[in-house]
Structure 1
């Protein structure tokens, strides 16, 4: 009840001041659930009701360089969205030193839009080998700023020309 009362009072003020309020929450397991999703968020239903956008962020992979952990790969799923189409999925790398990896996102979109080719663990750009492995390709794009800018420019041109970015990045394409 406390959360519901607080959110009722905050909603108007947040809307008028054009602010973003971000809540983070944890998942708990419901005991004895035979059907449906056994996961729930503590704190009642008020937060689910009043939120405009809800994201489900899960770690899907730990990124390592040898034995040391350098980051993690996450899948972000839009659970609820009142302001845009819901149920979208994206994957992103969160690196310990830099935060969300821009080069990782650039690499994913370039591969999904067929601007870059991935065969096995090798990445090719314009028919020439770029690097082996995802981390190697990210390192190559980080080192060669002109190449990264060219790929970003080509992605922006393709989107401006009306080419659709795949709905869910990382999904296998049906041919």
Structure 2
């Protein structure tokens, strides 16, 4: 139909709402001031490269803006004290520590469908593999 194929320049640019990562340099590098809201973002890197720290920083920034956040801890490695030091309000954070990858995905699906949560972190995707 009409508009099925078009030039990217033909469309008006839309402002994409974002959640700050807590790192000004990274927010600038991402081009929109943080991670895009309403999208799936995968943070990939080797072990101990700061992936969980980055996600906790995103949660802290989102909570400061009034967002409801959830952390699906598939690795059972979330340290509430460390999260608190990064600025996470651990009392308001929804946390799940599922027993299986399937359970983690079911919980994540339920959280998404509820529309009651603004940010959902799954740590880690690698832990979901049977």
Using structure 1 for the length normalisation, give the TM-score. Answer: 0.26
Higher relative contact order (CA 8 A, sep 6+): 2
Using structure 2 for the length normalisation, give the TM-score. Answer: 0.31
Which structure dedicates a bigger proportion of its chain to helix?
A: 2
Structure (1 or 2) with the larger CA radius of gyration: 1
